[in-house]
Structure 1
Amino acid sequence: MFYAYGVLMQPMEIELQTTRSVVVGAYSIALLISGFLSPVAGAIIDKLGGRLLMGAGSLLAFIMLALLANVHSVTGLYLVWAGIGIAMSATLYQSSFAVLTQICGSDYRRAITSLTLFGGFASTVFWPLTQALSDHFGWRETWMIYAAANLLICLPIHALLPKLSGPIQSESPNDSVKQGLSAIVRERSFLFLTSAVTFNALVFSAMSLHLMSILQSRGVSPSHAALIGALIGPMQVLGRILESTIGRKTTSHKVGRVAMWLLPLALVLLFAPKEWILIYGAFAALYGISNGVMTIVRGTLPAELYGREIYGAVSGAMAAPVMIAIAAGPFVASLLYSSTGGYVGTIIVLIALGTFGSILFICGRPSRKGY
C-alpha cells in the first residue's frame, strides 16, 4: 500500500492515459484520509485492542488492491485509493505502535524500535520486488499478488493478536490524562510537540520526491546522486539501531531533540561544492539517521508523556497532522521551486522550516523531572 505505487504509477499513468500529477494525487488522497482517521483508529484500539481493527484493515486492503488491479478510469483510481487510505489507517505504523504499546507493557519502546528496524527495510525489499513482478507479470497482476498477500499473510497474523484483557490503568502523573484526549490536545506541550514533528515530517516528505533533482541541480552526477540516495535507507536503520542501544538510556524527548536538529544540519550540507562528494555522503548519513530515529520518537513519545491508557487516541491525534504534512510535502516543494525560482531557495526555506520545528520541539519540553 505504501511503497509499491512509486514503481507502478508510471505504467498505470500510461494505460489510464492521464498525467503524473493526477496519479500522484490519488496517493495523496489516501495519505490524507489515513491521517484524518488516525485518531479514530487509535481510539478503537484503546477500547477493543488491535485484532478486530487490523484484521478488518487487512481484509479491506485485499479488496481495495484487487479493485486497483481492475481500475480503468481516473475516477475509479481515486475511489480505490480513498479506500486504501482507510486500510492504511488501520494497519500501518500508527496502529501497530498502539497495539505494541498495549500488549508489551513497559517494554513498549523496545518493541516499537524492533518493529521499525524491520520496517526500515520495507523500501529496500518492495521497490525491487515490485519492479521485478511488474516486469514479469504486469502492473495489474502485481496488485493482485499484493492483494492476495494481505489476505493470506497479514490477515492471519492480525487474527492471532491477543485479546485486550482489560483497560490499561493510567501510569502518567499528568492530570490531563484523567480528563481525556480533549484536555491533552489543549496542552501547550502537546501543541508544540505536534507542530514540531509536523514541520519535521513536511520537510522530509518534501525532500523525498525531489531529492534526486535537488542533487543534480547542485551539479552532482546522476550516478553519484543515485548512490547518495541509496545510502539513506541503511542510515535510517543505523539511526534506529543507535536509538535502541545508546538512546535507550535516556528519554525519547531527549533523543528527539538531537534527531530534530540533524535535519536542518543535513540540508545545510547540500550547499557544498559538487566535488565534495564525501560531504554529500555525510548529508545522506545525517538525513537518514534523523528520519530513522524520528519514526521511533513519534511512536514512543505519546506513551512516555501520557502513559499507555489512551495511547492510541493521543498518538493518533499527533499523527493526523503529520500524515497530512507527508501528503502535502512534495506539492509544497513544487510550489517553493516555482515561487523561489529554483532549488536553492527551496532548500533555504526547508532549512528554516526544519529549524523552526526543532525550536518548537525544545519549547514543548515537559516540565516533569527527568526531561
Structure 2
Amino acid sequence: MTSRHTPAALTPGLVLLFAFCCGAIVANIYYAQPIIELIAPDLGLSSTLASLIVSLTQIGYALGLFFLVPLGDLLENRRLMIATALLAVLSLAGAALVEQPNLFLVLSLLVGFSSVSVQILIPLAAHLAPEATRGRVVGSIMSGLLLGILLARPLASLIADHFGWRAVFACAAGVMLAICVMLATTIPSRQPEHRASYPALLASLWQLLRQQPVLRQRAFYQACMFATFSLFWTAVPLELARHHGLSQSQIALFALVGAIGALAAPVAGRLADAGHTRQASLTVLALAALCFLPALSPIGAGVVGLAVTGVLLDFCVQVNMVLGQRAVYALDAASRSRLNALYMTSIFIGGAIGSAVASLLFEHGGWTAILVAGTALPGLALLAFLRDTAKARQLA
C-alpha cells in the first residue's frame, strides 16, 4: 500500500532541517536531568519527588510513542507534527513560568508526551527518500537525534549556571516555536492511505510485533545498546566529578567530545544501503562489548580513556540504531509509523532501565560495576544476534 504526499525532492538542505528538528525536539526530554537539584528547592519539591521530574518526562515520552506516533499511519503527517510541536511549546513555556510543584510535574509529563513528534518526522523522511539512499538519509537525520540527546544535558547546565533553570525551558519553548514555523513552511505534506479506527490502529501494534521477527530482533539489540548508552552517560558525570575533579563546565566539554561518535550515522546508512547490514551489526555489537575495556589499563583509567569509551560507544549505538531502522522500515511501507513506534518504544525502555540502574551500580560498585554492566549488555545483544543469524542461515 502506498501513501500520497506532495512530490518533493529530499534535498541536502531538507535533510539537514530534518536532522536539526530531530535533535532540538528530542533534547526536550533531557534538559531537566542535570538541573533537578536547582528546580526542586525553587518549587518546594522534596528530593524524593524531584526524581519524578525525570521519570514523568520519560513516562510521557513512552505514552506518546505508543498512543500518538502510530497516528502517523492514519493522519496527515505535517499537521500531526505541528499540533504535537505546539503542545511542546505550551508545555515548555508553562514549565518556565509555573510556581506550583504539582503543576510542574504534570507539565513534565506533557513535555515528554509532546516530544514524540520526532518519531513522526523520521518515518516521513523514510517515505520521501528514494529506496537506494534511504539508509543514508535516515542515518543523517539520526545524527541530529543523537546529538540532541548528548548535547541537551551540557547545554542545560551551562544555561542554568548563567541565567537560571527557568531560562532552559524558556529557550526550549522558543526553539520549538521556531520549529513549528519551519514544519509549516518547509515540510511536505503526506496523507497516508491506511484507513482504520484508532482502536484498530493500536490493536495492530501487537499484530505487527507478532508478525515481524526482524522488528523484535532489531528492537532487542538496540534496547541493550541504548541501555548501555544511558548507563554510561548517567554514571560518567559522577565518575568525572568525584574521582577526576572535573567541574560542571568541564563535564559539559567532555560530553561535547563524546558527541563525535554521533557523526557515524551517515556511514551506517551507506553500509545499510550497500547491503552490509549483517557484517556492520556484528562489528558494532562486538566493539560495543569491548569499548569499556580501556578503563582496565593504567592509561585508559583516566579522563582520556573515558572519552575514548564515550566516542566508541556513541559510534556503535548510532550505527546499530540506523541499521535497525533501515531494516525495520523496509518491512512494510504502509506501517512505518507503527513499526517505528514499536522499535523506539523498546529502545527507550532500554534507555530508561540503563539510567535507573546507573546511579545504584555506581554508588555500590563504583566504575567497576558500570564497566561490568556496560560490557554485559552489548554482549547479550551480540549473543542474540549470533543466534538469530545462525537460525536464518539454517532456514535459508
TM-score (norm 1): 0.81
| Distance 1:275-1:64 versus aligned 2 partners, 3 A rule | closer
Aligned to 2:135: 109
Mapped partners of 1:255, 1:211: distance in 2: 27
2:190 to 156, 164, 172: 164
Aligned to 1:5: 32
Matching residue's letter, 2:313: Y
Mapped partners of 2:388, 2:266: distance in 1: 26
Aligned to 1:342: 366
Shift in Å, 1:141: 4.1
Unaligned residue ranges in structure 1 (runs of 5+): 169-178
Aligned to 1:96: 121
Q: Is structure 2 residue 173 aligned with structure 1 residue 154?
A: no
Listed one character per residue, the Cα deviations across residues 253-288 of structure 1 (whole Å, up to 9, x for unaligned) are: 543332222222112222222566565453233212
SS, match of residue 250 in structure 1: coil
Matching residue's letter, 1:59: L
Range with greater deviation from structure 2 (340-349 or 262-271): 340-349
Matching residue's letter, 1:185: L
Range with greater deviation from structure 2 (73-82 or 182-191): 182-191
- The two structures, once aligned, show a CA RMSD in angstroms of 3.3
Contact 1:39 1:320 in 2 (8 A): yes
| Distance 1:42-1:229 versus aligned 2 partners, 3 A rule | closer
Map residues 1-371 of structure 1 onto 2, 5 A cutoff.
Answer: 1-19=28-46, 22-89=49-116, 91-92=117-118, 94-106=119-131, 107-122=133-148, 130=156, 133-134=159-160, 137-151=163-177, 153-160=178-185, 161-167=187-193, 181-186=205-210, 187-214=212-239, 220=244, 222=246, 226=251, 229-237=255-263, 239-245=264-270, 248-274=273-299, 277=302, 279-304=305-330, 306-337=331-362, 341-365=365-389, 367=392
Contact 1:35 1:321 in 2 (8 A): no
| Distance 1:260-1:53 versus aligned 2 partners, 3 A rule | farther
TM-score (norm 2): 0.76
Contact 2:64 2:114 in 1 (8 A): no
Mapped partners of 1:199, 1:290: distance in 2: 12
Unaligned residue ranges in structure 2 (runs of 5+): 1-27, 195-202
Contact 1:11 1:139 in 2 (8 A): yes
Shift in Å, 1:361: 3.0
| Distance 1:347-1:243 versus aligned 2 partners, 3 A rule | same
Contact 1:196 1:360 in 2 (8 A): yes
Mapped partners of 1:71, 1:298: distance in 2: 40
SS, match of residue 292 in structure 2: helix
SS, match of residue 98 in structure 2: coil
Listed one character per residue, the Cα deviations across residues 69-102 of structure 1 (whole Å, up to 9, x for unaligned) are: 122233222111111121012x22x222111112
Matching residue's letter, 2:341: G
Shift in Å, 1:51: 0.9
Mapped partners of 1:88, 1:319: distance in 2: 13
Matching residue's letter, 1:77: F
Matching residue's letter, 1:103: L
SS, match of residue 97 in structure 2: coil
Aligned to 2:17: none
Matching residue's letter, 1:102: H
What is the aligned-residue identity percentage? 16
Aligned to 2:10: none
Matching residue's letter, 1:190: L
Matching residue's letter, 1:69: A
Matching residue's letter, 1:343: W
Mapped partners of 2:236, 2:367: distance in 1: 10
Shift in Å, 1:221: 5.6
| Distance 1:165-1:212 versus aligned 2 partners, 3 A rule | closer
| Distance 1:66-1:347 versus aligned 2 partners, 3 A rule | same
Aligned length: 352
Contact 1:32 1:324 in 2 (8 A): no
Matching residue's letter, 1:64: S
| Distance 1:72-1:165 versus aligned 2 partners, 3 A rule | closer
Mapped partners of 1:163, 1:246: distance in 2: 29
Matching residue's letter, 1:262: L
